[in-house]
Amino acid sequence: MSNVIDLRSDTVTLPSPAMRQAIFDAALGDDVYGDDPTVNALEKLAAAKVGKEAALLVTSGTMGNFCGVLAHCGRGDEVIVGDKCHIYNHEAGGASVLGGVAYHPVANTDAGEMPLTAIAGAIRDRENPHAALTRLVCLENTHGGCGGVVVAPSYMAQVKKLAHANDLKVHLDGARVFNAAVALGVDVKEITQHVDSVQFCMSKGLSAPIGSILAGDADLIRKARRLRKMLGGGMRQAGIIAAAGIVAITEMVDRLAEDHVNARILAAGLATIPGIAVDMNKIQTDIVVFSITDGRDLGALIGQLKAHGILVGGFGANSIRAVTHYGIDSNHIEATLEVFRTLMSQPAIGGSQAVEGAYR
């Protein structure tokens, strides 16, 4: 792997030396009995970090969102989601399949928002027996489907006000909420204060090997703990995971700024290459989405990049996504730009063979 520059996602990050040491040294117990001191320490720390009463360690962001949505909603309830959000598009419909909750998608703007009027319009009349019961609004920050843009806390405050006025709760899919906080230069609580529950990933830019946190009030987390158990997510000596999580949220947040700088450098460099278009306004965090405008086959290009040791992902019909992270430094960015300059200066290759596997 050492020669590969892996820009597919910040999920490919490997644990830091401090994490490996913390895992080695972790005090352990059976967390299903509530006996793992490291898990308990992480949950306490994480709750305080995002300004909530309680927190729960879960295996993944998907499990965190699932437990969050299902702790708020029962069968026959409806949840308002952005049409580009992760919960709606990339979580196998879990809340619907396993929880009997209906999704009510509302179009996301390029800023990762749902217009307030559209949210208001999606709230069902409780007195109408034909309608499902609207229970929850889900936000996402940063917004992955919109290219890692930061959703403004002022907008979130308005959503919360609208939701609470209609007896709804607000859940935040904050898989990368620390990227949003660092990009804004604010404490993460400036963001999470506007939601009733939040899920964040420790295994993305924060570089822990496994784990997400769901945080909210104590009653919600009690319900979520039952749901986690139901899913098979009650883990025993989970301090092995939590030890790295503690390092992630105490030592790895501030350095996200480096990833954001590298993303800007990568984007600015790509923007100078003929055949590539980048909207620099959207390069706000660690995600760089850019389009290929010279008509060459995207899959073939991704295959060529791979052959040169550079891994990226496709993003929609004619765009590529590259994500900076703890494993990427400025030399990797320079090397990546060099390969792009070379490949884009050459005629496009055809070749469905290259397309094959490019999207894995």
Q: Does 286 bind ligand PLP (CB under 6 A)?
A: no
Shortest distance, position 140 Cβ to ligand PLP, whole Å: 5
Q: Does 285 bind ligand PLP (CB under 6 A)?
A: no
Shortest distance, position 197 Cβ to ligand PLP, whole Å: 14
Q: Check if the beta carbon of residue 137 is closer than 8 Å to that of residue 80.
A: yes
Give the number of residues in contact with ligand PLP, rule: CB under 6 A.
12
Q: How far apart are CA 181 and CA 162, in angstroms?
A: 23
Rule CB under 6 A: choose which of 77, 113, 140, 297 binds ligand PLP: 140
Token pair in block for residue 314: 């496709």
Q: Check if the beta carbon of residue 279 is closer than 8 Å to that of residue 337.
A: no
- Cβ-based nearer residue to ligand PLP, 111 or 133: 111
Q: Check if the beta carbon of residue 82 is closer than 8 Å to that of residue 105.
A: yes
Binding mask 62-101 for ligand PLP (x = CB under 6 A): x--x--------------------x---------------
For the beta carbon of residue 134, count every other beta carbon within 10 angstroms.
23
Rule CB under 6 A: choose which of 21, 40, 60, 318 binds ligand PLP: 60
Angle at 317 between CA 311 and CA 323, to 5 degrees: 30
Amino acid at 339: V
Stretch that binds ligand PLP, among 35-43, 59-67, 128-136, 216-224 (CB under 6 A): 59-67
Q: How far apart are CA 39 and CA 179, in angstroms?
A: 24
Q: Does 212 bind ligand PLP (CB under 6 A)?
A: yes
Please report, to the nearest 10 degrees, the dihedral formed by the alpha carbons of residues 323, 328, 332, 333 taken in order.
Answer: 40
- Which residue of this chain has its Cβ atom nearest to ligand PLP in the complex? 61
* Strand ranges inside 49-184, DSSP E: 54-58, 77-82, 102-106, 133-140, 169-173
Q: Does 259 bind ligand PLP (CB under 6 A)?
A: no
Token pair in block for residue 350: 């055809």
Shortest distance, position 211 Cβ to ligand PLP, whole Å: 8
Q: Does 175 bind ligand PLP (CB under 6 A)?
A: yes
Residues that bind ligand PLP (CB under 6 A): 60-62, 65, 86, 140, 144, 173, 175, 201, 203, 212
